[in-house]
């Protein structure tokens, strides 16, 4: 097994228009014209588009709805879920109108343009199969909706106004989840000199690290002759710490080895970032300049030891994330991404897997800054299809190009510590799949020899027999907890990664009785119990993975399915309309924590106290019935009281996986009032307590923003949690009131979401029902500085108003 050692790397920071003397990066975000439902080839030339909709990019045309059962209804057996008989599925891709063709057109001028300069057009993602035209001429096309790609448009650009037209098209049966639709990631125009640094042409590694110094290796690919290169390294405080000049060019590449004294290492606990400013000169004239953020860190994967970062063995405390942002759809928004990561950071999560696609550059930038290890995934499908019109159509022609672009665009991010070439691909069966796995892994190794490659394998027995699992750098097991021991014995790597774990299902604030473990359990209301004991036919509850992580040193961590609910795949209700989003999330679609959040937090957040009681205590009609109480806590024991009467002390023990990680009082009889838990330290002394009370009727609306000040850039967001309380200020956990929202001032209403997987209310209409007593309203800034006011009203409720400030 190879040891993969490296430290990282690049992120080119792009603003709306970033100027330097030698290079401009212009983000094309405003004044786009959009038209759906016409595939006329005439749309790429001049004509009247005055009646088209004006939108900003990133843009997802389908998230505005409406939800429609017919959009993604299909008769299919989902093989990876173990189904053998076809049945009617609904909501599989979110039941939103993402299928069809649309056109985007933008008229722009290029700042500081001079004839003879290089002009590049960069797309960070277009869903999907984009056809690109400039000034009436076809520039090029791409296939994969998740790939980054660029074109040289130097010969087509004009001095003055240019017209860019992009056709995008989503086919039926092309995805297993909601893919979004349109130009959902950034589009930029880059202008530079003929003598310049190539696109994604900077590679930074740190092959030698000690407390005294680090060797920073900088490889820079350039265009132009008779040039020399100067690279200056700055620390996080902006102070120069090293500089090197070289005129030794090898083909189109410069290689520099630069010494940084007393380096600060990057880690999730201390995400320290350096910046390398690379300048290309002809004579003494600067022709190009690129700033590259990187981190100094060492990674290793070793048999029987596992994964180590900067010399310290650790296990991945990770989650899988789909690319949609709930009610915002797939349109990338940095504030929304950051909110997700803040929530996960508080849970103690330290790793993200991009499932099952290439991540946004904004997400990687945030993971670098905030300290998350990252598993960057490429494909959900190779040559053998999962869905009729999936990536299998493009695999032979595009797989290498897509991997090359993935690695070159992102390899300088210190957060990325491994690549994934696939997820549960049907190619796991047979020799052809083994050859494909090796071919893909070799491409990753060629482009980046510093990081290992994994595949999320669900057909573990097949990969044992075929050699598929043996050739991987890291054998990743999706579920199959009963096969971990056998896989460790048969695979030669000396460790196993839980590349996808749990798939426990739950609905925030919904509890079912009797309380028992169950697979694929269904109820009349199409919800799943938040006692966190229900799972899928192929999966398990969290505690089963906890045992493996704690007891097996050769298990190197896990990536839980999933950190947040996502649109589509409403298992176990994919045959039951109107379920249209997942139940897997540790947090719901609105970003509100489910009970399961605190179970993971009690294990993963080793700094802060966790003491969480479930279920809620509003059970009118259950008086006198058994209503079990669970406590998720980092403490080993606690005593429970109901209306002052002790229910006894529970201690964590090894009798079952649940008893090992949860405190459970299974025989509690419900009576309204107060539930209180007192936790004890290791010496048996009371150290913390928490209580909850039965609420009365909803009386007043309460508003709680995640941020009271946001940037006046037209993009920033404040997420406002809306709940209702009774006359005594106690939250009403079962409230379902219909609320209305009004935003005035220097902001706009962006969306609302209540986390209910069965709700057909539109996200972008300013009214919605509470679900389990809560929902979230998203407020977006305008470009003017000043106050934003959100008012929330509901029939029979005392309204509430919130002031949010926007500033530069």
Give the model confidence (pLDDT) of 130-188 as tens digits: 999 999 999 999 999 999 999 999 999 999 999 999 999 999 999 999 999 999 999 99
Residue 338: phi, psi to the nearest 5? -65, -40
Mean of all residue pLDDT scores within the chain: 95
Query: How many other C-beta atoms are found inside a 10 Å radius of the C-beta of residue 211?
Result: 8
pTM of the predicted structure, to 2 decimals: 0.96
What's 610-630 look like in SS3? CEEEECCCCCCCCCCCECCEE
Paired strand residues for 631? 613, 663
- Please state which CATH number belongs to domain 23-61+98-192: 2.60.120.260
CA distances from 607 to 316, 347, 632, 787 (A): 17, 10, 15, 36
Residue 4's pLDDT is: 53
pLDDT tier, 12 (very low <50, low <70, confident <90, very high otherwise):
very low
Q: Residues 365, 381, 424, 534: which is the catalytic one?
A: 424
Domain 196-294 top-level CATH class: mainly beta
**Fold agreement (23-61+98-192, 299-503+538-584):** no
pLDDT of residue 19: 41
- The reply to whether 424 belongs to the active site is yes
pLDDT band at 76 (very low <50, low <70, confident <90, very high): confident
**In Å, how far are 163, 363, 413, 416 from 374, measured between CA atoms?**
38, 10, 9, 4
Residues 6+ apart with CB under 8 A from 462: 428, 429, 468
| Active-site annotation holder among 500, 534, 639, 731 | 500
Identify any residues that bridge with 234 across adjacent strands, giving them in sequence order.
Answer: 240, 275
Q: What is the pLDDT of residues 390-410, one digit of tens each?
A: 999 999 999 999 999 999 999
Rg (CA), the chain: 27
pLDDT in tens, 217-259: 999 999 998 999 999 999 999 999 999 999 999 999 999 999 9
Tokens at 456, concatenated: 């999320």
Q: How confident is the model at residue 5 (pLDDT cuts 50, 70, 90)?
A: very low
Topology given in CATH for the domain delimited by 700-807: Immunoglobulin-like (2.60.40)
Q: Is the pLDDT of residue 1 over 60?
A: no
CA distances from 301 to 6, 155, 477, 493, 546 (A): 11, 47, 16, 9, 21
Of 666, 668, 671, the residue nearest 620 (C-alpha): 671
| 43 pLDDT above the threshold of 80 | no
Contact at 8 Å (CB) between 678 and 639?
yes
E-strand ranges in 367-440 read 373-377, 416-423
Q: In degrees, to the nearest 5, what angle opens at C-alpha 146 toward C-alphas 145 and 149?
A: 85
d(CA 198, CA 203): 11
Q: Write down the domain spans for the chain.
A: 23-61+98-192, 196-294, 299-503+538-584, 611-693, 700-807
Closest CA to 777 of 795, 765, 786: 765
Residue 88 has pLDDT above 90, yes or no: no
pLDDT the model gives residue 17: 40
Superfamily classification of domain 299-503+538-584: Glycosidases (3.20.20.80)
Say which residue the tokens 């005129």 belong to.
Answer: 247
In the chain, % of residues over pLDDT 70: 96
On whether the CB atoms of residues 271 and 8 are closer than 8 A, the answer is no
611-693: CATH, from 1.20.1250.20, 3.20.19.10, 3.40.1650.10, 2.60.40.10:
2.60.40.10
Q: Is the pLDDT of residue 50 over 90?
A: no
Per-residue pLDDT at 280 exceeds 60: yes
Determine whether 400 is an active site residue. no
């Amino acid at each position: 097994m190879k040891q993969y050692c490296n430290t990282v790397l690049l992120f080119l920071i792009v603003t709306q228009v970033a100027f330097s003397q030698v290079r401009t990066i212009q983000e094309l975000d405003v004044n786009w014209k959009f038209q759906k439902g016409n595939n006329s080839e005439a749309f790429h030339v001049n004509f009247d588009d005055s009646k088209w909709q004006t939108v900003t990019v990133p843009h997802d045309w389908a998230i505005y709805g409406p939800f429609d059962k017919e959009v993604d209804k299909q008769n299919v057996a989902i093989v990876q879920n173990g189904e053998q008989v076809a049945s009617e599925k609904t909501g599989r891709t979110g039941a939103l109108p993402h299928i069809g063709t649309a056109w985007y057109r933008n008229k722009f001028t290029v700042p500081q343009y001079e004839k003879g300069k290089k002009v590049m057009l960069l797309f960070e993602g277009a869903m999907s199969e984009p056809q690109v035209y400039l000034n009436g001429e076809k520039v090029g096309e791409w296939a994969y909706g998740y790939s980054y790609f660029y074109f040289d448009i130097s010969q087509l650009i004009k001095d003055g106004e240019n017209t860019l037209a992009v056709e995008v098209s989503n086919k039926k049966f092309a995805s297993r989840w909601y893919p979004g639709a349109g130009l959902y990631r950034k589009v930029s125009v880059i202008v530079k000199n003929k003598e310049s640094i190539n696109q994604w042409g900077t590679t930074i590694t740190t092959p030698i690290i000690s407390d005294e110094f680090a060797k920073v290796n900088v490889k820079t690919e350039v265009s132009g002759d008779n040039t020399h290169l100067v690279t200056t390294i700055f620390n996080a405080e902006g102070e120069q710490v090293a500089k090197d000049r070289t005129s030794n060019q090898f083909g189109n590449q410069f290689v520099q080895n630069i010494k940084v004294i007393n380096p600060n290492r990057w880690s999730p606990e201390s995400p320290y970032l350096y910046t390398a400013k690379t300048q290309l000169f002809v004579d003494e004239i600067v022709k190009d300049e690129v700033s590259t953020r990187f981190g100094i860190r060492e990674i290793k994967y070793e048999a029987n030891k596992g994964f180590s970062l900067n010399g310290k063995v650790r296990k991945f405390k990770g989650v899988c994330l789909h690319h949609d942002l709930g009610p915002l759809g797939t349109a990338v928004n940095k504030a929304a991404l950051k909110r997700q990561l803040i929530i996960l950071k508080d849970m103690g999560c330290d790793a993200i897997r991009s499932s099952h696609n290439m991540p946004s550059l904004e997400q990687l930038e945030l993971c670098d800054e905030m300290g998350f290890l990252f598993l960057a995934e490429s494909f959900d499908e190779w040559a053998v299809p999962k869905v009729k019109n999936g990536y299998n159509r493009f695999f032979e022609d595009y797989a290498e190009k897509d991997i090359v672009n993935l690695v070159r665009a992102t390899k300088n991010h210190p957060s990325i510590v491994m690549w994934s070439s696939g997820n549960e691909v049907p190619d796991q069966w047979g020799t052809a799949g083994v050859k494909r796995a090796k071919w893909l892994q070799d491409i990753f190794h060629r482009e980046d020899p510093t990081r290992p490659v994994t595949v999320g394998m669900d057909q573990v027995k097949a990969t044992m027999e075929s050699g598929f699992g043996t050739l991987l750098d890291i054998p990743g097991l999706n579920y199959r907890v009963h096969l971990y021991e056998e896989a460790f014995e048969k695979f030669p790597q000396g460790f196993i990664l839980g590349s996808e774990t749990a798939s426990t299902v739950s609905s925030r604030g919904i509890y079912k009785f009797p309380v028992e473990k169950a697979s694929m359990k269904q109820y009349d209301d199409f919800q799943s119990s938040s006692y966190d004991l229900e799972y899928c036919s192929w999966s398990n509850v969290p505690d089963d993975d906890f045992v493996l992580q704690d007891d097996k040193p050769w298990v190197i961590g896990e990536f839980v399915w999933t950190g947040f609910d996502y649109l589509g795949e409403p298992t176990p209700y994919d045959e039951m309309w109107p379920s249209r989003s997942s139940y897997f999330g540790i947090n719901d679609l609105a970003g509100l924590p489910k009970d399961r959040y605190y179970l993971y937090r009690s294990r993963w957040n080793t700094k802060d106290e966790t003491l969480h009681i479930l279920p809620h205590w509003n059970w009118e009609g259950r008086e006198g019935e058994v209503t079990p109480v669970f406590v998720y806590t980092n403490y080993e024991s606690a005593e429970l009281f109901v209306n002052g009467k002790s229910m006894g002390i529970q201690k964590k023990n090894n009798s079952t996986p649940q008893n090992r990680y949860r405190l459970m009082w299974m025989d509690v009889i419900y009576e309204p009032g107060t539930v209180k838990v007192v936790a004890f330290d290791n010496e048996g002394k009371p150290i913390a307590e928490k209580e909850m009370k039965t609420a009365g009727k909803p009386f007043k609306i309460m508003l709680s923003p995640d941020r009271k000040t946001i940037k006046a850039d037209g993009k920033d967001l404040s997420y406002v949690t809306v709940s209702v309380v009774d006359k005594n200020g106690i939250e009403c956990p079962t409230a379902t009131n219909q609320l209305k929202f009004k935003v005035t001032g220097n902001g706009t209403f962006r969306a609302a979401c209540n986390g209910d997987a069965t709700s057909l209310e539109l996200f972008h209409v300013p009214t919605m029902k509470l679900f389990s007593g809560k929902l979230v309203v998203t407020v977006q800034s305008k470009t003017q500085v000043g106050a934003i006011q959100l008012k929330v009203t509901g029939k029979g409720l005392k309204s509430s108003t919130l002031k949010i400030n926007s500033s530069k």
